[in-house]
Amino acid sequence: MYNRIPATLKITLLLITCLFTTSCETLNIQAIGKQQKFNIEDDEKRLWKRSDEFEEILNNSGFVFSDSELQVYLTGLINNILPLEVKAIGCSVKAYVLNDPSFNAFMLPNGVMYIHTGLLVSLENEAQLVTVLGHELDHFVSRHSLKFFRNLKNTSAFYATLSAAAIAAPYANLAGLLIQYSFLSSVTGYSKEMEAEADRGGFDAIIKNNYDIQQSVRAFEVMEMQIKEEKIKEPYFFSTHPKIKERIRNFKELSASFKDKATYLGKEIKADLYNNKIKDIILENAFLDIKKNHFKSANRAIERFLKLEPQNPEGYYMQGELFRCRGEKGDPDKALESYLRSLEKDNNYALAHKALGLFYYKMKKPDLAKKEFQNYLLLAPQAEDRGYILKYLQELNL
């Protein structure tokens, strides 16, 4: 029957079908603060509700870093860089830190931002952080998630109609469209136009708060270098190489085309303040990097920590663990040296004694091993791995 219909009529029928069966949602959405009163759309209310639920799950997951001082600092910072017209209508945002070594930050439609420890530790100063936060904030202010979601609905409806009407085409695989929007946006990013708009937002945040504009490019150059070094293939937006290259290009263009460059006096970097704020997460994140075999990132972080806290035994212990896990030529000796330095700083640092004990045990130096294991158990009698240490001591005593 179908083959008897003339080709021109087939195409006409197809187009009519598409027009009638796809109901397009408007993408003409004003940014928050552009109207005197913020009118939240019906589908946007649902996105906010999903965000609230997602926030509750994530905050109860154990992945949120429980450092209230850091959270207060970040929340204060993002509310500070929030555009005035947004603050004027009573809008405020929140920030949480996620214990995750990947380079990622994402903003939920309900005004909650999650920043990974990996991103915080990879940046060098507050100016660089403001660039990234400003970029993410703009996604919220410009209501990109609503646009993204509506575009998804429109496009999927269009292609589904096209597929249904055109017999030759296989039915589109729509499984991927059922992924949570918030995660999708943090993984693949928004459209090129929306990302460019967000870059503009990040650049404006730098300018309006008197930061050094060179840091906006540097932020992404630093991330690019680390991604290349570690050959990271994670799908997160800030971890994907093409996306970072695009950011660098955009910020260089924004910097070059900044018309008030000659008179702009903003030079704020705030490196010391920033280091002080993130100090407590540096080693924690380094530990996560070691867990994921990101040894270069871990090493850089540990060295940064030791510059800030040269007397802290934990830094040297973590360095020893890095060398132990990395296991390259010469690393066992480096690990030994780090553990010994840790104990030089504090002879009561139990974990370094354990690490030394294991080192000597594997090197078949029983007397040294015994001594370190005994020290460890004296200092940490309730240690979780006590059973193993007692077993080694039993073997060594035979």
Partner 1 sequence: MNKIKIFIIIACVFIVCGCVAWQLVPSNYQWNNAGFSAVLPQGWMKFQSPAALLFLTKDGELLQSISFFREKIGKELPISKKKFTKEMLSQELAETLINELSLGQNKHNFKVIENIPVKLGNYDAFRLTYSFNTADNLKLKTVVYGFIKKKFIHFIQYEAAEQHYFDKDISTFDKFIQGFQILR
Partner 2 sequence: MRKYILILFLEAIFLSGCAGVPIRKNTYFDNYFSSPREVAIMPIDFKAYKLTAGGLREEMDEWEMQTKNLLLNLVKQKLESFLNIKVSIIESNVAPELKRFLNEQNGLYRAVAQSIITHTYAPVATFPQKLKYFDYTLGSEINQINSLSTADSLLFLSGSRTYWTGGKIAVSALSMIAAAAVGISVVPVGIPDWLAVSLVDTKTGDIIWFKYYGQPNASVGDLREPDVVAATVDSLLKDLSAQK
Please report, as ranges, the residues that interact with partner 1 according to CB under 8 A: 57, 60-63, 170-171, 288, 291-293, 358, 362, 384-385, 387-388, 391
Please pick, from the candidates 6, 20, 90, 260, the single residue that binds partner 2 as defined by CB under 8 A.
Answer: 20
- Which DSSP helix (H) or strand (E) runs through 115? strand 112-116
Q: State how far the Cα of 256 lies from the Cα of 278, in Å rounded to an integer.
A: 31
- How near is the Cβ of 332 to partner 1 at its closest, in Å? 13
Residue 385 touches which of partner 1, partner 2, none (Cβ within 5-8 Å per kind)? partner 1
Please pick, from the candidates 8, 23, 26, 394, the single residue that binds partner 2 as defined by CB under 8 A.
Answer: 23
- As to burial, measured by CB atoms within 10 angstroms (0-12 exposed, 13-18 middle, 19+ buried), residue 293 is exposed
Q: State how far the Cα of 212 lies from the Cα of 234, in Å rounded to an integer.
A: 30
Rounded to a whole number of angstroms, the distance between the first and last alpha carbons of the chain is 89
Q: State how far the Cα of 353 lies from the Cα of 332, in Å rounded to an integer.
A: 15
Nearer Cβ to partner 2 (164/271): 164
Residue 27 touching partner 2 (CB under 8 A)? no
Nearer Cβ to partner 1 (344/395): 395
CA distances for 298 relative to 323, 329, 359, angstroms: 10, 18, 21
Nearer Cβ to partner 1 (241/326): 326
Residue 374 touching partner 2 (CB under 8 A)? no
Cα 285 to its chain centre, rounded Å, is: 12
Question: Whose CA is closest to 199, among 217, 218, 223, 221?
Answer: 217
Segment 90-119, which members bind partner 2 (CB under 8 A)?
Answer: none
- How near is the Cβ of 147 to partner 2 at its closest, in Å? 15
User: Max Cα separation, the chain?
Assistant: 93
Residue 27 touches which of partner 2, partner 1, none (Cβ within 5-8 Å per kind)? none
Nearer Cβ to partner 2 (152/269): 152
What the block records as the tokens of 204 is: 């404006």
CA distances for 49 relative to 33, 109, 267, 303, 389, angstroms: 21, 9, 40, 43, 50
Residue 64 touching partner 2 (CB under 8 A)? no
Nearer Cβ to partner 2 (163/214): 163
- How near is the Cβ of 159 to partner 2 at its closest, in Å? 7
| Candidate ranges 134-142, 170-178, 297-305, 307-315; the one touching partner 2 (CB under 8 A) | 170-178
Q: State how far the Cα of 9 lies from the Cα of 16, in Å rounded to an integer.
A: 10
Q: State how far the Cα of 365 lies from the Cα of 303, in Å rounded to an integer.
A: 30
Nearer Cβ to partner 1 (223/288): 288
Give the CA-trace dihedral at 242, 243, 245, 246, to 10 degrees: 120
- How near is the Cβ of 299 to partner 1 at its closest, in Å? 17
Nearer Cβ to partner 2 (16/390): 16
CA distances for 131 relative to 119, 163, 212, angstroms: 12, 42, 10
- How near is the Cβ of 97 to partner 1 at its closest, in Å? 16
Binding string to partner 2 for residues 140 to 169, with x set by CB under 8 A, is what? ------------xx-xxxxxxx-xxx-x--
- How near is the Cβ of 49 to partner 2 at its closest, in Å? 5
Nearer Cβ to partner 2 (155/191): 155
Footprint on this chain of partner 2 (rule: CB under 8 A): 1-2, 17, 20-23, 42-43, 45-46, 49-50, 152-153, 155-161, 163-165, 167, 171, 174, 177-178
